[in-house]
Structure 1
Amino acid sequence: MTTTNPNLSPITILIAGHWLGAWAWDEVLEDLHASSSRTVAVTLPGLDRDDPHRSSKTLDDQVRAIQDTLARCDVSATRPAVVVAHSGANGPVSLLLDRHPELVRRVVWVDSGPMASGSAFAPDLPDDVEDVPLPAFDVLAQQASLEGLSTEVLERFRARAVPEPGLVLRGSVELTNDARNSIPTTLVCCSIPSAQVVELARNGHPMFAPVAELDTVDVIDLATGHWPMWSRPGDLAEIIRSAVARPGAVAQTTD
């Protein structure tokens, strides 16, 4: 097991994908905290079921919330964080890396990856759709692998999932700062093998092409479904620990 000095290791921020809050990382957090890792899980705006205005939240709201979390954790250009982004968290995290690359030492994409400039998760979602609830699992399974998830886990997923705001799903990710590509990256490939991801990136597949633009990428296979924080939490925690221990980015500032 990788061990770190909590006084020297960077803070790690965990951000889950669509329909999920900080609770999705509970098992991973338990493992990381057992090894004294400095780790915080985030619930993005729009995914707090107690927020009466959650359906009005946007990608910009989510980016600001991540920035606020970094500020509360005393993250700065001299003390950058490791940011772990799962699945649909790639929208706000791609924007964060573009706007504040100096605050991120390393980014870990969990069955996810950077978005292309000008892209949106669901650009054709009708404007009158305020939010999108978690689909039926037989429908969801056609979009993302449920491998490794027990009936108990699926029941918890259903009970705690929060509808994803339509404004977030339709929101366009506009990127202007190439410094984001210099941030060291760990790509954790779960439902799609790494060899296939790399090949798709090289061939310019729209979903994977931004990976080919990254300067430094560690590619790791974690064979399981799309939600490894539930199907293989211990293994994912170890990958995150190892990523935190890897060299980070040199501080960069935006003009």
Structure 2
Amino acid sequence: MANFVLVAGARLGAWAWDEVVPELRAAGHGAHPLTLSGLAEKRDVPAGQHTHVQDIVGEVEGKDLRDVVLVGHSYAGIPVGQAAVGIGDRLTHLVLVDAEVPVDGAAFVSAWPDGGATVTASIAQNGGFWPLAPATHYDGHGLTDEQIARIARGATPHPGATLTEPAVLTRSLGELPATYIHCLLAGAEPGDDVAAQSSAGQHWRLVEMDTGHWPMFSQPRELARLLLGTVEV
């Protein structure tokens, strides 16, 4: 039995995995959706990048989980990638769902075309939080109006420090068994680091989903099947 620890991206909480979790548990595995500090039901908890890494490591170690599949979506790829190194031999597989890949010394905003200036300014103007996105932000991603409304209802402003503080990696992620799920409707191709790791063919593999950036809403069953496939390879 594997234990899936599921972490959604910016502004989202454990609730984002509500339609994925039953599929994983029905297959006989553990599923542990996690809300990071500063979000959803934990919105009043102060958080920086290190806090989010510790949230994930604490979930794994606190529940004494073994055979762990760490799943990070979008922004959460950064703390999940760091946590994957931190949990050592408890890790079975790392899954990055249309996610950012952590780079030692770089922050989430580092890869933005303007170096993160726009996001940083937005955080400063909104009390230290990245504000909610408008409903139009979710257009073109294979989501129904109902699904978009659900995301908008559940989303909370994202703690800004987690986006601007750098990642710290003590080991190359290329050494870990990993799957990168690229969502085609999201537009942007995976970064050079993903391409290099997957083309090497030793530890990483690249798979595609014909949907947008939020597959846990648009195609939860298909996403669950891909996640289950990582414990069969």
- Say yes or no: TM over 0.5: yes
Q: In structure 2, do the counterparts of structure 1 residues 193 and 170 end up closer, same or farther at CA, with 3 Å as the change threshold?
A: closer
| Contact 1:86/1:111 (<8 A) preserved | yes
Query: Which of residues 82, 87, 90 in structure 1 aligns to 2:74?
Result: 87
Seen in structure 2, the aligned counterparts of structure 1 residues 137 and 194 have a Cα distance that, compared at 3 Å, is closer
1:67 is matched by which residue type in structure 2?
V
Task: Map Cα deviations across residues 66-119 of structure 1 (whole Å, 9 max, x no partner).
Answer: 1111023323xxx34111111110121122133334332110111114222222
Relative to structure 1, the CA distance from residue 39 to residue 49 in structure 2 (aligned partners, 3 Å threshold; closer, same or farther) is closer
The match for 1:135 among 128, 133, 136 is 133
1:167 to 161, 176, 182: 161
Root-mean-square deviation over aligned CA pairs: 2.4
Contact 2:76 2:100 in 1 (8 A): no
1:176 deviates by 2.8
Quick one: percent identity of the two aligned structures?
A: 29
After TM superposition, give the deviation of residue 14 of structure 1 in Å.
Answer: 0.7
Residue correspondence of structure 1 range 94-105 to structure 2 within 5 A: 94-105=81-92
| Structure 1 length-normalised TM | 0.77
Unaligned runs of 5+ in 1: 1-8, 202-208, 247-255
2:78 and 2:100 in contact (8 A); partners too: no
Matches within 5 A, 1:1-255: 9-49=1-41, 51-52=43-44, 54=45, 56-75=46-65, 79-122=66-109, 123-124=116-117, 125-126=120-121, 128=124, 129-138=127-136, 140-141=137-138, 146-178=140-172, 180-191=173-184, 196-197=189-190, 200-201=191-192, 209=193, 212-213=196-197, 215-246=202-233
Q: SS state of the match for residue 225, structure 1? A: coil
Distance in 2 separating the partners of 1:19 and 1:99 = 24
Cα separation, 1, equivalents of 2:129 and 2:185:
28
Which of these two proteins has the greater Rg computed from alpha carbons? 1
Q: Is the 8 A contact 1:146 1:227 kept in 2?
A: no
Alpha-carbon distance change, 39 to 172 in structure 1, aligned in 2, over 3 angstroms: same
1:126-160: CA deviation from partner (whole Å, max 9, x where unpaired): 4734101221133x25xxx6421111111111111
| Larger relative contact order (Cα-Cα within 8 Å, sequence gap ≥ 6) | 1
